[in-house]
Structure 1
Amino acid sequence: MPKKPPPVFPQEQQNLTDLGERLKLARLRRKLSSMVVAQRAGISRTSLYKVEKGDAGATLGTYLRVLAVLGLDGDIKQLAADDKVGRKLQDLALTQ
C-alpha cells in the first residue's frame, strides 16, 4: 500500500498548486514536452504531472530537479534567505 502524504494546511496546498502551475507554464513557454522534461530531470512523467499539479506527495528533490531542467534553480536560493524574524530573535537573545 503506497504511503499517504501527511495532510497539508490549505495555504500550503495553495502555494504548492501555484508553484506547480508556474512550473507547467515555464515548461510550455520553453516549448518542452512533459516527456522531455521528465527525462532530463530523471523522473517519470507521472512524477512531473504531480509536480505540475502541486502534489504535496512529490519530494522536494523532484521539485528541485524540475526547476533545474527549466533553468529556474537559482530561484531556490531566495527561499528563507531573508530571515527577519530569526535575526530579531537572535538579536534579542544577545541583548539579554
Structure 2
Amino acid sequence: MLGRLIRIGRAERGLTAQDLADRAGISRTTLSNIEKGAPGPEIGTVFEVAALVGVALFGEEERGLQLQNAHLGEKLALLPKAVRRSVKEADDDF
C-alpha cells in the first residue's frame, strides 16, 4: 500500500521515476521495487522516498488524509480476500 501511495504522490508532482530516484540517491530499479511493494528495499530508503513525494507516514497531516481518502477503494483492493488459518499444533505428548 505504501508503494502505491508513493507512486501516486510521484505522479501528482509530475516526477518521472528517474527524477525521483535521482533525488533520493537510489537506482531506478530500487524505486520500481519500492513502488511495487517488494520486500528488498531498506525501510529507511522507503521512508525517505515517501517523504520526498509527501506521503504522510506517522502523523495525520491534512495532505496525507486527503490522499488516503481519495484512494480508499484502491487501498481496499490491496487487502487479502482471505486470511490463512493458523497451523494446528501437533499433539506430541506421548
TM-score scaled to structure 1, two decimals? 0.56
Report what 1:10 is aligned to. Answer: none
More off after superposition, 63-72 vs 22-31? 63-72
Q: Aligned partner of 1:20: which letter?
A: G
- Offset of 1:68 from its aligned partner? 2.1
TM-score scaled to structure 2, two decimals? 0.57
From 14, 23, 27, the counterpart of 2:10: 27
CA deviations on 1:4-50 (whole Å, 9 max, x unpaired) are: xxxxxxxxxxxxxx211111011111110001100101111010000
CA deviations on 1:44-66 (whole Å, 9 max, x unpaired) are: 10100000000111110110120
Which aligned runs of 4 or more in structure 1 are off by greater than 2 angstroms?
Answer: 75-78
CA RMSD, Structure 1 to Structure 2 (Å): 1.2
1:55 lines up with 2:26 in the alignment = no
Larger Rg over CA atoms: 2
Report what 2:19 is aligned to. Answer: 36
Query: What is the identity percentage for the equivalent residue pairs of Structure 1 and Structure 2?
Result: 39
How do 1:73-84 residues align onto structure 2 when only pairs under 5 Å count?
75-78=56-59
Q: Which runs of 5+ in 2 are unaligned?
A: 60-94
More helix per residue: 1 or 2?
Answer: 1
Distance 1:25 1:34 in 2: 11
Contact kept in structure 1, 2:9 and 2:54, CA below 8 Å: no
- Offset of 1:77 from its aligned partner? 2.6
Q: Aligned partner of 1:77: which letter?
A: F
Q: Aligned partner of 1:38: which letter?
A: A
